[in-house]
């Protein structure tokens, strides 16, 4: 298994050698490699078993550094970066020629962000290259929010996990770009739409794609547990599965059911706080997936604030390819 530790110099040594390191961010843990080294980037796809047509996000230590890897930053997107970086915002920008095709899956825009985690920012500041870093998990499975999650899934394939503790946001970054003069959200995430609109005005939201996505993390079936993940009315689904004798677990926003054992149910936020729910989402999905239950019964969140991004992940977890 991989070594877990807070040693930035060790992480740098591995990355300088063209190998991969798991890094902490405020959103989820990333599987990182030199974004300017096509061989290292290919290792990311191979290690995750990720389709090569699904582009990657490039991580840099500051907005100033972004200028080295893109040809233009539109004024509206620059305003968002100045306001929300470091943070769970990814910008889709026209790429410079030093970004390899494999990073963008041949597309003419590259996804970039400045992560909000002190260890990773310190690491990025010491490197001579940016880091390509999708979530540090096998492709399509639940994203990791702790070093232990990474080790359980990829520990035999990488040598080092930079330990930054548990992720404070727990949902991937919101991806934003522009089409002509319109600001477009390509992926809902840890930055609420209303926060973005408070800076740049009304935006449009594009739904995810099932193939050849324009931005990272947009494939239809994603974040999937290994067990059936059923969305609907919890009371109805609980009654139905009980009557059929099916062993189930329950994931809710704030409900707890007295007739169900505590090991078989998780409320993401007892106070129905959607930010708290987002923080706990992936860890809760993983815990129930590792239980002895045969199916996982889940309710959708309110379609407000981060509830929209949580529901996006829940719907894709329930999609079967």
pLDDT attached to residue 225: 83
* Domain count across the chain: 2
Asked whether residue 212 is assigned to any structural domain, the reply reads: no
- Would 130 be classed as within a structural domain? yes
What is the per-residue pLDDT for 222? 62
Q: Clarify whether residues 24 and 110 are in a common domain.
A: yes
Residue 222 lies in a domain: no
- Binding positions for L-threonine: 27, 113, 133, 173
| Residue 306 is assigned to a structural domain of this protein | yes
The reported pLDDT for the residue numbered 321 is 43
Kindly state whether residues 117 and 243 are assigned to the same domain.
no
Q: Which residues neighbour 295 within 8 Å (Cβ) at sequence distance 6 or greater?
A: 227, 228, 229, 230, 241, 246, 247, 248, 249
Residues annotated within a binding site? 27, 50, 59, 113, 133, 135, 143, 173, 187, 223
Verify that 17 and 136 share a domain, yes or no: yes
Domain presence at residue 260:
yes
With a CB cutoff of 8 Å and minimum separation 6, the contacts of 46 are none
Answer yes or no: is 257 within a domain: yes
Domain that holds residue 264: 229-318
pLDDT given at position 304:
87
- Give pTM, 2 decimals: 0.85
Whether residues 133 and 239 share a domain: the answer is no
pLDDT in tens, 304-315: 888 988 998 898
Q: 59 in a domain, yes or no?
A: yes
Residues 110 and 32 in one domain: yes
Q: Distance between CA 238 and CA 254 in Å, rounded?
A: 16
Tokens of 245: 């004798």
Q: Are residues 155 and 261 part of one domain?
A: no
22 and 121 co-located in one domain: yes
For strand 204-205 and strand 182-187, is the pairing parallel, antiparallel, or unpaired? Answer: parallel
- Mark which of 205, 240, 266 sits at the end of a domain: 205
Q: What are phi and psi of 186, to 5 degrees?
A: -90, -30
Query: Within this chain, do residues 185 and 234 fall inside the same structural domain, yes or no?
Result: no
Residue-by-residue pLDDT tens, the chain, 321 positions? 999 999 999 999 999 999 999 999 999 999 999 999 999 999 999 999 877 667 999 999 999 999 999 999 999 999 999 999 999 999 999 999 999 999 998 889 999 999 999 999 999 999 999 999 999 999 888 999 999 999 999 999 999 999 999 999 999 999 999 999 999 999 999 999 999 999 999 999 986 554 455 667 666 566 678 899 999 999 999 999 999 999 999 999 999 999 899 999 999 999 999 989 988 998 899 999 999 999 999 999 999 888 988 998 898 888 554
Residue ranges for the known binding site for ATP are 50, 59, 135, 143, 187, 223
In this structure, are 124 and 178 located in the same domain? Answer: yes
**Within the chain, where are the H helices?**
8-16, 38-48, 63-66, 75-84, 101-104, 118-126, 147-154, 193-200, 234-243, 274-289, 307-318
- Residue 95 is encoded by which pair of tokens? 């790429």
């Amino acid at each position: 298994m991989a070594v877990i530790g807070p040693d930035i110099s060790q992480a740098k040594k591995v990355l300088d050698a063209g190998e991969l390191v798991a890094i902490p961010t405020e959103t989820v843990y990333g599987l990182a490699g030199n974004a300017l080294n096509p061989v290292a980037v290919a290792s990311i796809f191979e290690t995750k078993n990720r389709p090569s047509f699904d582009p990657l996000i490039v991580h840099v230590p500051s907005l100033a550094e972004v200028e080295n890897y893109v040809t233009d930053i539109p004024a509206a997107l620059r305003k968002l970066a100045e306001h929300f970086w470091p943070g769970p915002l990814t910008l889709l920008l026209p790429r410079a020629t030093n970004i390899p095709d494999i990073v963008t899956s041949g597309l003419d825009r590259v996804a970039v962000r400045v992560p909000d985690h002190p260890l990773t920012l310190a690491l990025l500041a010491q490197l001579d290259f940016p880091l390509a870093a999708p979530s540090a998990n096998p492709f399509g499975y639940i994203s990791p929010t702790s070093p232990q999650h990474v080790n359980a899934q990829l520990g035999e394939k990488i040598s080092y996990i930079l330990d930054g503790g548990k992720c404070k946001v727990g949902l991937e970054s919101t991806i934003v770009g522009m089409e002509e003069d319109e600001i477009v959200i390509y992926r809902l995430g840890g930055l609420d739409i209303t926060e973005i609109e408070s800076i740049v005005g009304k935006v449009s939201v594009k739904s995810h794609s099932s193939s050849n996505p324009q931005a990272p993390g947009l494939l239809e079936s994603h974040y999937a547990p290994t067990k059936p993940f059923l969305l609907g009315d919890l009371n109805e689904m609980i009654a139905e599965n009980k009557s059929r004798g099916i062993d189930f677990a329950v994931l809710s926003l704030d409900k707890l059911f007295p007739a169900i054992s505590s090991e078989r149910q998780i409320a993401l936020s007892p106070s129905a706080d959607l930010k708290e729910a987002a923080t706990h989402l992936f860890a809760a999905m993983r815990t129930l997936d590792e239980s002895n239950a045969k199916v996982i019964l889940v309710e959708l969140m309110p379609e407000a604030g981060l509830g929209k991004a949580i529901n996006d992940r829940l719907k894709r977890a329930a999609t079967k390819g």
